């Protein structure tokens, strides 16, 4: 079981689930609450299949590029990792926050309140980058439009997203494709509309990023 709702934090979402299922790359990072532990899910470059763990998981999924300012840690240091928040912040502070969330009537709202207290505004350049890539704009064209050289764009992307802009664009393209295919658009038409060379190209990207064929992924979803 998995439920999600928008957060008061711009671009973020709150979710609750049982910790099962395949977690696909999405350009985001999450603050997690499970069994009175605070954890951080770093940016994924491939599907993450959680180990079977009992109990309810609660999470705040930050908007792409916004979590590093909250955490004080560059995203690339957490790429494809799940870590304890106490590995990033002072232990006394984390203990205090754990107690606060444990006492809360709704852990999701408590996570949201914490993020609202500490979050910094998202860099408008990063917002523009995500919007352009999510719309299918080429990386080179986007870099010119936002006034960044290729090396500077790559460095800033590593800090904000955990990987370079080409990987981010590929992940966002996959998300668009899954939304279309999941809505019943034929795979060939999905590939064409999302900028893949052909249906075979779409199939390769799905296998590499999601770890399973597109048909199986949609059937599970």
Q: What is the pLDDT of residues 10-24, one digit of tens each?
A: 999 999 998 888 899
3-class SS of residue 16: strand
* Mean pLDDT on 167-184: 97
What per-residue confidence (pLDDT) applies to 51? 77
Neighbouring C-beta atoms of residue 183, cutoff 10 Å: 8
The predicted structure's pLDDT at residue 122: 80
- Split at pLDDT 50, 70, 90, the class of 84 is very high
Closest C-alpha to 164, from 150, 176, 175, 174 = 150
pLDDT band for 221, please (50, 70, 90 cuts).
low
Per-residue pLDDT at 31: 98
Q: Which pLDDT value is given to residue 54? A: 74
Instruction: Give pLDDT, residue 149.
Output: 93
Burial label for 171, CB within 10 Å (0-12, 13-18, 19+), is: buried
Question: pLDDT tens digits, residue range 143-175?
Answer: 999 999 999 999 999 999 999 999 999 999 999
* Number of Cβ within a 10 Å radius of residue 215: 12
pLDDT of 32 higher than 60: yes
Distance CA 21, CA 24 (A): 10
To the nearest whole percent, how much of the chain has pLDDT over 70? Answer: 99
Q: How far apart are CA 59 and CA 127, in angstroms?
A: 22
pLDDT tens, position by position, 63-82? 999 999 999 999 999 999 99
Pairing of strands 2-6, 13-17: antiparallel
Mean pLDDT of 81-89: 98
pLDDT digits (tens, 9 = 90+) for 88-136: 999 999 999 999 999 999 999 999 999 999 988 888 999 999 999 999 9
Which CA distances in Å does 28 have to 31, 196, 204? 10, 23, 22
Q: Which of 83-92, 195-204, 212-221 is least confident?
A: 212-221
Domains with residue ranges and CATH for the chain: 2-118 (no CATH), 124-220 (1.10.10.60)
Nearest alpha-carbon partner for 206 in 182, 184, 183: 182
Alpha-carbon dihedral angle through residues 14, 52, 37, 101, given to the nearest 10 degrees:
40
């Amino acid at each position: 079981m998995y439920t999600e709702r928008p957060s008061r934090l711009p671009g973020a979402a709150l979710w609750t689930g049982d910790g099962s299922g395949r977690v696909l790359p999405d350009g985001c990072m999450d603050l997690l609450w499970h069994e009175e532990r605070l954890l951080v899910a770093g940016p994924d470059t491939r599907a993450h299949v959680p180990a079977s763990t009992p109990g309810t998981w609660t999470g705040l999924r930050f908007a792409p590029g916004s979590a590093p300012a909250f955490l004080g840690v560059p995203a690339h240091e957490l790429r494809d990792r799940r870590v304890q928040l106490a590995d990033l912040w002072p232990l006394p502070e984390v203990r205090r926050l754990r107690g606060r969330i444990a006492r809360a009537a709704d852990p999701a709202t408590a996570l949201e309140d914490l993020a609202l207290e500490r979050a910094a505004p998202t860099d408008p350049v990063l917002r523009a980058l995500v919007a352009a890539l999510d719309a299918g704009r080429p990386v080179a064209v986007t870099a010119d439009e936002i006034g960044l050289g290729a090396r500077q764009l790559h460095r800033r992307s590593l800090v904000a997203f955990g990987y370079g802009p080409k990987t981010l664009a590929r992940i966002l393209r996959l998300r668009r494709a899954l939304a279309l295919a999941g809505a019943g658009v034929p795979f060939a038409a999905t590939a064409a509309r999302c900028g893949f060379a052909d249906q075979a190209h779409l199939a390769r990207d799905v296998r590499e990023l999601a770890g399973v064929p597109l048909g199986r992924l949609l059937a599970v979803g």
